[in-house]
Amino acid sequence: MTDSSPKQGRVILVGAGPGDEGLLTLRGKEWLERADVIVYDHLVNWNMMRFADPNAETIYAGKKAGHASIPQDEINEILISKARQGKIVVRLKGGDPFIFGRGGEEAIAVKKAGLPISVVPGVTSPVGVAAYAGIPLTHRDISSTVTIITGSNEKNQEDIHIDWEKIASRSGTLVFLMGARKLPKICEKLIHFGKAPDTPIAVTQWGTTARQKTWTGTLKTIVDIAMKENIAPPALTIIGEVVNMKPLIEWVETLPLFGKTVVITRQESQADSMIHLLQDKGAEPVSFPVIQTVPPPDWASLDQALTRLSKYHGLIFTSANGVHFFMRRLKETGQDIRELKGVRVYAIGPKTGKAILEFGMQVDCVPENFVAESLIESLGGESVQGKRFLIPRALKAREILPDRLREMGAQVDVVPAYQTIHPTRTNEDLARRLQDGVIDVVTFTSSSTVTHFLELTGPELRPHLDRVTFACIGPITADTARENGLKVTIVPEEYTVDALVTAIEDHYSDKA
């Protein structure tokens, strides 16, 4: 007898950390993978959504410049109503849910509604931002205490309710969250109640992201600096002698691509390696997958080819996707990989070759340059006259390879192994970033990423692309971008993701 009772929903408060997606905890990632609904804040890094199911519902409940897009009571009601529908609801909050994040209020509301709740701590901004700024909050010779204070309030009162006399008398490190707009009052009160005017102070804006910037001074000088530099939220303020250690420790600001925001347009399943390469060099990757690979509309032609694999002289793979879908279908149809014995296997590049090797097949040829033209040149050294080749590839692709092989006298069967479509969910944050002019580089790893990117961004964002540097993995992709009116600046000599990231680094090193 099956259980027909509805699945009980639950709410999970997840701390997303202060900005860098790498600071999300493993437990937080696990809950994102399981979530049916994700209710997220303004400062949450959208890249984290790539861990979620593509069909998960996303609800923006952020706050910017003191104005909530959804009042707190309504946020509580969303969490409760979605969970009552039997859904796993992740409330994704910047920093840590219980450090000035109103997580306590949300947890109480959910508990009062009789629903189960879990809490996943996050790297709070005092810890994360201070570390990325190169400022230790404690040091055995300087500071043994840390006081974390909110520099804002929810009711917009003129003053913030702080016992200034006690705070000013403390000898350790003071950390003010959300205090950029109240900086003059914070400095005035601390000095009034006895804190030395020459006490070191640091204000870090957009900590742990590519936009991170830190200004240092003293309680007496920082307000003038803030007015001159137009320091605005989000910002973290650190006060104490530990600030003087920043020049000795700072590390993020010294990385070669620090301060650069780079858009990755390749599909989510292939983005991780590029994201990690960029992060290692100090850039902030923005995942904006413009394609998604899915099975072809019809397997018939591939299935037919799989029944006569031994009849082919060569099997040509033009992408890792082609390898994966080919092998997946081979397994699903009960075919035997041993049928490929004696069939030469060709790969258009090293990533494709690596995918082939992972399935236990040997690669007979990888061309020197990773484009169809180079593979044709390599095949020119063989006698292809009268020989039969199978090319499992995307439903829509360049025809130069099969056409040229036929001109050389070969028989060629081109079969769709997969197709590329628009993803079911895209980065809702990219349009705002383009409009704000905070995107430095957009990368393309295939011609299809170019066309899909332009389709998804639309004509309304086209003027904002004039301020962006475009980097393409190879000349064919670059030609497609130029044909669409984009100015391509960066094309590596070797057509790989590693070389593309290195070329971006070289571009900015040359400009330095």
Residue 2: band (very low, low, confident or very high) from pLDDT cuts 50, 70, 90: very low
In angstroms, the Cα distances linking 172 to 141, 216, 240, 241, 243 are 11, 18, 7, 8, 11
pLDDT classification of 95: cutoffs 50, 70, 90: very high
What is d(CA 370, CA 136) in angstroms, rounded to the nearest whole number? 47
Query: What's the mean pLDDT when you consider all of the chain?
Result: 91
Of 190-194, 322-326, 344-348, the one with minimum mean pLDDT is 344-348
Q: What is the pLDDT of residues 439-465, one digit of tens each?
A: 999 999 999 899 999 999 999 999 999
* Range 207-216 average pLDDT: 95
Average pLDDT over residues 90-103: 95
What are the tens digits of pLDDT across the range 380-415? Answer: 666 788 999 999 999 988 888 889 889 888 899 999
User: What is the mean pLDDT of the segment spanning 223-243?
Assistant: 96
Q: Is the pLDDT of residue 340 over 90?
A: no
Q: Quick one: pLDDT at residue 285? A: 95
- Comparing 370 with 144, the larger pLDDT belongs to 144
pLDDT for 291 beyond 60? yes
pLDDT(190) > 90: yes
**pLDDT > 90 in the chain, percent:** 73
Three-state helix/strand/coil letters over 237-303: EEECHHHHHHHHHCCHHHCCCCCCEEEECCCHHHCHHHHHHHHHCCCEEEECCCCEEECCCCCHHHH
- Residue 1 confidence class, pLDDT cut points 50, 70, 90: very low
At residue 123, the pLDDT reads 98
- The CATH H-level (homologous superfamily) assignment of domain 127-250 is Tetrapyrrole methylase, C-terminal domain (3.30.950.10)
Mean pLDDT value across residues 471-485: 95
Q: What are 114-170's pLDDT values in tens digits?
A: 999 999 999 999 999 999 999 999 999 999 999 999 987 645 555 567 899 999 999
Structure confidence at residue 512 (pLDDT): 64
Segment 273-289 shows an average pLDDT of 94
**β 314-317/388-394 pair status:** parallel
Q: How confident is the model at residue 267 (pLDDT cuts 50, 70, 90)?
A: confident
What's the CATH fold of domain 10-123? Cobalt-precorrin-4 Transmethylase; domain 1 (3.40.1010)
Whether residue 262 has pLDDT greater than 70: yes
Banded pLDDT at 75 (limits 50, 70, 90)? very high
Which active-site residues does the annotation give? 41, 63, 178
Of the two residues 68 and 269, the one the predictor is more confident about is 269
Give dist(CA 465, CA 457) in Å, integer: 10
Class of the CATH domain delimited by 261-291+424-511: alpha beta
Residue 63 reports pLDDT greater than 70: no
Whether the Cβ atoms of residue 196 and residue 219 lie closer than 8 Å to each other: yes
Query: What pLDDT score was predicted for residue 6?
Result: 60
Give the pLDDT confidence score for residue 383 in this predicted structure. 77
Give 95's DSSP letter: B
Query: Which of 63-67, 275-279, 334-338 has the weakest average pLDDT?
Result: 63-67
Q: How far is CA 501 from the centre of its chain?
A: 15
How far apart, in whole angstroms, are the C-alpha atoms of residue 290 and residue 266?
6
User: In CATH terms, are 261-291+424-511 and 294-421 the same topology?
Assistant: yes
Q: What is the mean pLDDT of residues 346-357?
A: 88
What is the pLDDT, as a whole number, of residue 270?
Answer: 83
DSSP class of residue 180? Answer: S
Q: Which CATH number fits domain 294-421: 3.40.50.10090, 1.10.340.30, 3.30.450.20, 3.30.9.10?
A: 3.40.50.10090
pLDDT at 381: 61
In which band, very low, low, confident or very high, does the pLDDT at 511 lie, cut at 50, 70 and 90?
Answer: confident
Q: What is the pLDDT of residues 5-53, one digit of tens each?
A: 567 899 999 999 999 999 999 999 999 999 999 999 988 999 999 999 9
Query: DSSP assignment of 313-375, as one string?
Result: SEEEE-SHHHHHHHHHHHHHTT--GGGGTT-EEEESSHHHHHHHHHTT----B--SSSSHHHH
Q: Which residue has the higher pLDDT, 511 or 265?
A: 265
Mean pLDDT of 410-425: 91
Residue 372: predicted pLDDT: 64
Domain ranges of the chain: 10-123, 127-250, 261-291+424-511, 294-421
Instruction: Give the pairing type, strands 235-239 and 200-205.
Output: antiparallel
Please say if the pLDDT value at position 246 is more than 90.
Answer: yes
The answer, yes or no, to whether residue 346 has pLDDT greater than 70, is yes
